[in-house]
């Protein structure tokens, strides 16, 4: 049984390291999710587990903790309107002469969303050679799965058959019943672990589009404002931010302008974002 004192210590640690704010009623959830780790480590109490994390010098157990606490619910082309909007946007930009496109999927989970973005870009553009997508998550577990790009048949059953045939390879033999995203699409995406609650994001702008869906619902208002300010700075003028439908920027003192529900634009004509230290040169290759 997770006692209140240890629960408070654990949720303070989780908030400090990930930005996830756990309410008073989440003690049973936390206790259940760390139980497996406790068994694997041979620890009898949650207090021992907390002490183990604090003493763990390389920080690997903290990553395991955040892996089991973070919620990862996703599927291909979730909220189809967002992908239709993206296709229309990039077609318009390509028509204006743009050839270089940089997108950040800030909560990639097991990869369905960034691969949906890559497929959308490939389908929408006449020339997608200079499209790069950074896909990040705080969970190393889901990032490993995402990079493999392998999914059970039930996870791809809602994808139009023509799209499935173009961009997925059906498994055979031991891989029967699975589909892998084709290499041409996987090469458009780079997966990296990034903590969105950190003060400075290791990403370099300017970006054209940021998908940051269903993340801020786990943050308090202080972290939401901090994250929005960082995202605003990373976007180019005229760039778009897409959030979850349960998330609103109302009252966040944001400079973003609403376009439609869950879609915002950084107004054109404002100063370009300054460069940040970046996790990878991928998004800035072939400037």
Answer yes or no: 137 catalytic. Answer: yes
Query: Are 63 and 102 found together in one domain?
Result: no
Q: Which of 4-18, 31-45, 250-264 has the lowest mean pLDDT?
A: 250-264
pLDDT at residue 16 greater than cutoff 50: yes
Provide mean pLDDT across the span 82-109: 96
More confident residue, 65 or 190: 190
247 in Cβ contact with 106 (< 8 Å): no
pLDDT in tens, 210-229: 999 988 888 888 888 899 99
Query: Are 102 and 44 found together in one domain?
Result: no
Query: Are 137 and 272 found together in one domain?
Result: yes
Query: Are 111 and 204 found together in one domain?
Result: yes
pLDDT, residue 281, reads 39
Band (pLDDT 50/70/90 cuts) for residue 206 is very high
Query: Are 35 and 86 found together in one domain?
Result: no
pLDDT, residue 215, reads 85
Answer yes or no: 81 catalytic. Answer: no
Query: Are 45 and 148 found together in one domain?
Result: no
Residue 235: which residues within 8 A CB-CB, separation 6 or more? Answer: 205, 206, 207, 208, 210, 241, 266, 273
Residue 131 lies in a domain: yes
Residue 243 lies in a domain: yes
Query: Are 140 and 252 found together in one domain?
Result: yes
Q: CA angle, corner 208, sides to 206 and 210, nearest 5?
A: 100
Residue 193 lies in a domain: yes
pTM of this prediction?
Answer: 0.80
Query: Are 12 and 93 found together in one domain?
Result: no
Residue 56 lies in a domain: yes
pLDDT, residue 56, reads 87
Domain boundary among 19, 41, 69: 69
Residue 97 lies in a domain: yes
- CA atoms of 58 and 279, how far apart (whole Å): 20
Query: Are 31 and 108 found together in one domain?
Result: no
CATH of the domain at 40: 1.10.155.10
pLDDT at residue 3 greater than cutoff 50: yes
pLDDT, residue 277, reads 39
pLDDT in tens, 119-161: 999 999 999 999 999 999 988 888 999 999 999 999 999 899 9
pLDDT in tens, 97-123: 999 999 999 999 899 999 999 999 999
Report the share of the chain in percent with pLDDT over 70.
92
Task: State how far Cα 25 lies from the chain centre.
Answer: 26
Question: What is the residue-wise DSSP string for the chain?
Answer: ---HHHHHHHHHHHHHHH-----GGGHHHHHHHHHHHHHHHT--SHHHHHHHHHH-TT-HHHHHHHHHHS-----TTSSHHHHHHHHHHHHHHHHTT---EEEEES--TTTHHHHHHHHHHHHH-S--TTEEEEEEES-HHHHHHHHHTEEEHHHHTTS-HHHHHHHEEE--GGGTTEEEE-HHHHTTEEEEE--TTSSS-S--S-EEEEEETT-GGGS-HHHHHHHHHHHHHHEEEEEEEEE-TT---TTS----EEEETTEEEPPTTSPPPPP---S-SGGGTT-
pLDDT, residue 280, reads 39
Residue 74 lies in a domain: no
Band (pLDDT 50/70/90 cuts) for residue 4 is very high
Domain boundary among 50, 69, 88: 69
CATH of the domain at 245: 3.40.50.150
Catalytic site residue from 11, 27, 102, 137 = 137
Q: Which domain holds residue 139?
A: 80-284
**Other beta carbons within 10 Å of 248:** 14
Query: Are 118 and 160 found together in one domain?
Result: yes
Please count the structural domains in the chain. 2
Let me know if 113 is exposed, middle or buried by CB neighbors in 10 A (0-12, 13-18, 19+).
buried
Average pLDDT, the chain: 88
pLDDT, residue 23, reads 86
Query: Are 85 and 64 found together in one domain?
Result: no
pLDDT, residue 71, reads 67
């Amino acid at each position: 049984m997770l006692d209140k004192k240890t629960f408070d210590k654990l949720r303070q640690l989780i908030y400090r390291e990930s930005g996830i704010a756990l309410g008073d009623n989440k003690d049973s959830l936390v206790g259940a999710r760390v139980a497996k780790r406790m068994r694997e480590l041979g620890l009898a109490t949650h207090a021992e587990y907390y002490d183990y994390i604090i003493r763990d010098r390389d920080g690997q157990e903290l990553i395991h903790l955040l892996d089991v606490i973070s919620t990862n619910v996703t599927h291909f082309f979730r909220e189809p309107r967002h992908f239709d909007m993206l296709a229309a946007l990039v077609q318009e930009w390509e028509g204006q002469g743009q050839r270089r496109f940089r997108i950040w999927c800030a909560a990639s989970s097991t990869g369905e969303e960034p691969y949906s973005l890559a497929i959308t870009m490939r389908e929408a553009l006449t020339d997608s050679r200079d499209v790069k997508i950074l896909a990040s998550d705080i969970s190393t577990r889901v990032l490993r799965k995402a990079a493999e790009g392998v999914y059970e048949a039930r996870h791809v059953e809602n994808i139009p058959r023509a799209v499935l045939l173009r961009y997925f390879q059906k498994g055979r033999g031991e891989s029967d019943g699975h589909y892998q995203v084709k290499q041409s699409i996987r090469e458009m995406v780079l997966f990296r672990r990034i903590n969105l609650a950190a003060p400075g994001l290791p990403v370099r702008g300017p970006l054209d589009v940021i998908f940051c869906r269903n993340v801020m619902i786990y943050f308090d208002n202080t972290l939401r404002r901090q994250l929005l300010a960082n995202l605003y700075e990373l976007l180019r003028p005229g760039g778009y931010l897409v959030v979850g439908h349960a998330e609103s920027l109302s009252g966040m003192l944001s400079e973003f302008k609403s376009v439609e529900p869950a879609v915002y634009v950084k107004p054109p004509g404002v100063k370009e974002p300054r460069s940040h230290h970046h996790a990878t040169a991928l998004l800035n290759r072939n400037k």
